[in-house]
Amino acid sequence: CLLFAFRKLDSGDGRLAIALSLIVCGAVSNLVDRWLRHSLVEFFMIRVGAVRLAPFNLADLVMVIGVGLLLVALARQYRPLVT
């Protein structure tokens, strides 16, 4: 699905290509980690007072950044229909 999207990108869609690349790289990294270690290695734990949020790793962070860039790229391409 994403490979098809990469082929359909125009040369001016750099932000979109970077966003999709980050999402794919993060997902592949998590898959390789699960395949080799049979688990994910979590690096970061955020605490707010006594509340601990879910742990995450670098691949998760890369995917979140990719999704953020994807939303920005799609929002910039959005043109409302004039009726």
Beta-bridged to residue 48, according to DSSP, are 51
Cα–Cα distance, 50 to 19 (Å, whole number)? 34
pTM (two decimals): 0.67
Higher-confidence position of 45 and 7: 45
Query: What's the pLDDT score for residue 8?
Result: 58
What number of other Cβ atoms are within 10 A of residue 15's Cβ? 15
**pLDDT over 90 percentage in the chain:** 5
Over residues 2-15, the pLDDT tens digits come to 555 566 566 566 77
pLDDT band at 81 (very low <50, low <70, confident <90, very high): low
